[in-house]
Structure 1
């Protein structure tokens, strides 16, 4: 009897037909196709199908087997092997990578639909538990300094939050800002593009602002292209599972970036940022701002005059640094 055909969520189903999937055959096929010394499919196809190199895959597999006994292959009373960690992990990764239905890998991996769903939930959760602290951490001082340096090189200087101070075009500013599109309000903390810019200075500013702003949009686009489950509608109903799916995709993406940093391949862009060492976090024990101070800062943020002045100063700043030399 194949226990893989039973639901792990509500017990066995009365009069439900049991399918003998021959799970051992599924494991052996996967092993021959991808993990022997001379596999059926070359390393390029492994990376394309599983979004990572084999060594990184095996590193993750070893870690999850140690962390959660669910991924350790077991044998029944007569020695028949259960599903291996390869089968469970590959089924979960196929859903993440291709956004495919749970039963799409049944014929190849030899794993039932309910077990695929269970494997996906457990895999995403265990990835967050094992690797989240390192690959889903908040930016540390080195990260922030690098990001600020890149922004300054592109003509959009900022101070160091929360207390900032920087000078542009002879004017001093004491608040950082976000690059935003036209839907955001005209506050001093937003630097928006210029719709229908007139003149070379404003045209240059608009082009540079939109280019820098789209970095975040493109970063999320890379995540969507690597893990199609992020691009489509949510496949699970509960928020907790959706959270683990999203977080695990980000973690896996960061692990792939780190793993492939020094690799060169004509079909892949490996121009990745450096990964800083694990941060030393200093907790703040200062009291929060009083209500009146909060209200004062809130009014300062909504200052439209400063918003306009900052945008004009950045127009002149960018033009003096780069624009007039490119014409």
Structure 2
């Protein structure tokens, strides 16, 4: 008997309670499974709220019709003065921008959603972007008027700024770099005058802040590439507005031209100063100023011109 009990305990036979090791493992596993099922049933018996995304019924067509009658109809409810104040530009320039964006980018064309309902129109999207640039504030502040939600408004702003930069960004001149270590009286005088113009640049940035409230606000909520697009768009739009509303601000004739032609090839004698007017001239000037040799020649010509106007002494 003693040898039989010893062999049974070592070979998986019945223990003192009459159960084998395998039967004991199965019983424990069954108890665990039963406990798990009880917890699952208890959890299922407790009702839990189902969180669904709230649907806001927006009437895009009615919002477009209201916007059209307010600002874009032949006899709008709000006249040209209010349009310029609220859009920061005159209606023809705004429609020119809308048309350019619509022709190039599918985003600015009217599309249908998954339910077959028409989406926002091009002027709705561009208006949402312009109003955000002009007034700042929360991105859904025009939802009640334009029926554009927060996420759609943000997308309109980013697509608008990137599109304006891509389409119109090659039409504006660049700054001539300063001289870090000027040698000689001419370059020293030029560097002094150019450093003084930094105040003008600061004033220009203040002008941007007055026209576009978004420039005054914090930028930490935006990604760096988006900040670049927004700033470029504000600068480009400002230049377009200046050119559109005041031809005398961007084009004037030099009164003390000596007849000496410049050496950099960007302009010729007796030229109209300011922003180049023709498309070909703008593209040529833009390309020329970004070539290192042409930039150096342009800088040398400006130094000579500034020195000559000083009196050449």
**Superposition TM-score, scaled by structure 1 size:** 0.59
Give the counterpart of 2:75 among 38, 61, 67.
Answer: 38
2:187 counterpart residue number: 174
- Aligned pairs (5 A) from 1:55-94: 55-76=92-113, 80-94=117-131
- Aligned pairs (5 A) from 1:92-171: 92-135=129-172, 137-138=173-174
Tell me by how many angstroms 1:285 deviates.
7.2
Give the counterpart of 2:282 among 255, 278, 285.
Answer: 278
Q: In 2, distance between residues paired with 1:31 and 1:230? A: 28
Q: 1:14 to 1:240 in 2, by over 3 A?
A: farther
Q: 1:109 to 1:161 in 2, by over 3 A?
A: closer
Alignment check: 8 A CA contact 1:94 1:100 kept:
no
Tell me by how many angstroms 1:275 deviates.
1.7
- Greater RCO, 1 or 2 (C-alpha within 8 Å, sep 6+): 1
SS of alignment partner, residue 86 of structure 2: helix
1:154 counterpart residue number: none
Give the counterpart of 1:216 among 196, 201, 213.
Answer: 201
1:8 counterpart residue number: none
Give the counterpart of 2:56 among 19, 24, 27.
Answer: 19
| Structure 2 portions without partners, runs of 5+ | 1-49, 252-273, 294-306
Tell me by how many angstroms 1:80 deviates.
2.6
Q: Which has the larger radius of gyration?
A: 2
> How far does the alpha carbon of each residue in 1:152-187 deviate from its partner, in whole angstroms, 9 at most, with x for none?
xxxxxxxx987x999xxxx8343431459xxxxxxx
The structure with the greater share of residues assigned to helix is 2
Tell me by how many angstroms 1:213 deviates.
5.4
Tell me by how many angstroms 1:17 deviates.
1.0
SS of alignment partner, residue 246 of structure 2: coil
Tell me by how many angstroms 1:224 deviates.
0.7
Aligned residues: 217
| Structure 1 portions without partners, runs of 5+ | 1-12, 145-159, 181-189, 191-208, 263-269, 287-313, 319-327
- Aligned pairs (5 A) from 1:245-264: 245-262=230-247
Alignment check: 8 A CA contact 1:75 1:81 kept:
yes
What RMSD in Å do the two structures reach over aligned CA positions? 3.3
